[in-house]
Structure 1
């Protein structure tokens, strides 16, 4: 009876033999294992195959397999070889499937990371675009505000274009005069240190300063001819200076008070003190006369402009209207002459002070006047820079 090789794998161990007819030899037993155990067993016991005799030989006490070229044996080993090959192929296929699954999962993860990065980049791009648009809107609002301010300035300039050119010319001339005046004051201050032995230099510098004040009066006279109201209002000076302004400048009597206060510590002779006192009194009288004349002119101007014949729907004739307007224009011209007389009085006070004092004393007097005016300008700057409530 033949042994079924297809359904029952087998293996051989030591002290067991069987023939190819399926009969068990005496003292020998058959144990069944799979093909992998056959491979291990064969490698352990050193299977020797003989291609020439077609028989399989086992080392040790296993004996021999005869008839290796039997068809049944060949078919059995061919079947086992095919099964083992298929199992190994299945293992490789499963390993390939597992590797492909891992690669696919890795690719999916990379794709998700890339998508997240793209979303973050898109979000940042939207934020930048939003900020850029907001900045453009704010810039547009600022431009509109600047345009409105510029249009307002143009409108105001259009209303006053008849006098702005002349006022600007006077203001430029006055600014240049002020810069030159500061330079002369610096020279006078530095030369005053050694005034005892250098009265000639001080005398020349004092003359230069007095002459420079004369230039200011000439500039103001030309400015009054163009726009008398601008010179009279004192808009070319600082606010604190305008507070103490009288007919386009300082009162001579006030400047003499400043000089007297600064010169008292110095050694003034009795004659000098009397002369300064008399000069102060004469300046006050002239100022009072000019002030009374200005009040009379202002009253006359008010009467001329408030006449009933100058009303828009008055029944008065054109001749009466022209007469009152001529009176008003005459008063304005008279005010211009008052400005000129006030400048002459200021110039006369400086020249008389120079005659009364020595060169060193005159230099100190001019520096005291300049320091007083500088303090007024500093007061104006502090007032304008005060915290606004």
Structure 2
């Protein structure tokens, strides 16, 4: 009997120990589960916060682009108004005095160039729509020829503008500041545009690639020759203007003689701009002969898109906040 009582006590003690262990295990499992749930909840909160910040950044970026677009449109409108007012004033003064005023030629060129850009964009849009609609090569060839002819009109406008104000054309003040960073002798380098076209056109044959490379090389050589000529002209002008710095009464005749020589040398600037435009014109014509009608159309789109991106970059730079 005593032994039975001892056994029953041992069994009861074992059951109590097992019960305690079960409770401890259950508590630990609950703690682990709560910890995991807390981690999951924390990750969910972090993910939601990251997504919210991402949406806010995207919204701010889109708003900045929209503000830049509106600001660009406002700037273009203001510029157009200034041009119109400037030409009106210039024409009024010219009518009063019986002759054109200084700067009227530059203003006239700027307005003609603005109209040229609008028409050029319309022609480019026609080509873009034509490519997307898969029209025939004959019709596409006519559209390409229209853009090529339009480029010839630009070179004529620049020739007239250079006669009126060669410095205005040379400096590129008729373009955006960002475009002026890429300018060379009143325009873009043909060799650089060829490089862009070559890298972005697809399905070019080996003979086409070689022809474009050779055209790029010859354009680069012609550009180098013109650049050396400009450097020589600048050096010659420096020597002429610095031969004597005295402007006393006894040196008036010498001074005027030097100015006359400098003016004669300066007149060759117009020739350099004309030769640079002839090179650009020749390069476009040669590229058009190398490519098929569809490839030539895409090449014109590539060039136009590159220039549009420079203008967009200029607009964004002007409107973005600067840190000092």
Q: TM-score, normalised by structure 1?
A: 0.56
What's 1:9 paired with?
Answer: none
C-alpha distance in 1, partners of 2:240/2:284? Answer: 38
Listed one character per residue, the Cα deviations across residues 291-315 of structure 1 (whole Å, up to 9, x for unaligned) are 000000011111111121x522264
What's 1:202 paired with?
Answer: 140
What's 1:182 paired with?
Answer: 121
Structure 1: state its 5+ residue gaps.
1-153
Matches within 5 A, 1:210-225: 210-225=148-163
Listed one character per residue, the Cα deviations across residues 203-252 of structure 1 (whole Å, up to 9, x for unaligned) are 00100001101101110110000000000111110111000100000000
What's 2:74 paired with?
Answer: none
Tell me if 1:311 matches 2:246: yes
Tell me if 1:234 matches 2:234: no
Q: Which has the higher contact order (CA 8 A, sep 6+)?
A: 2
Higher Cα radius of gyration: 1
From 348, 357, 362, give the equivalent of 2:282: 348
Count of residue pairs brought into register by the alignment: 227
What's 1:36 paired with?
Answer: none
C-alpha distance in 1, partners of 2:151/2:249? Answer: 49
The alignment's C-alpha RMSD in Å is: 1.9
- 3-state secondary structure, aligned to 2:236: helix
C-alpha distance in 2, partners of 1:260/1:174? Answer: 28
- 3-state secondary structure, aligned to 1:246: coil
Listed one character per residue, the Cα deviations across residues 234-280 of structure 1 (whole Å, up to 9, x for unaligned) are 111011100010000000001001101111xx211111011000000
1:194: Cα distance to partner? 4.0
- 3-state secondary structure, aligned to 1:182: helix
1:179: Cα distance to partner? 0.2
1:317: Cα distance to partner? 5.7
What's 1:278 paired with?
Answer: 214
Structure 2: state its 5+ residue gaps.
1-85, 91-99
- 3-state secondary structure, aligned to 2:267: helix
What's 1:164 paired with?
Answer: 103
- 3-state secondary structure, aligned to 1:316: helix
1:387: Cα distance to partner? 1.0
Matched-pair contact (CA < 8 Å) for 2:247–2:255: no
Higher normalized helix content (fraction of residues): 2
1:386: Cα distance to partner? 1.4
C-alpha distance in 2, partners of 1:348/1:271? Answer: 20
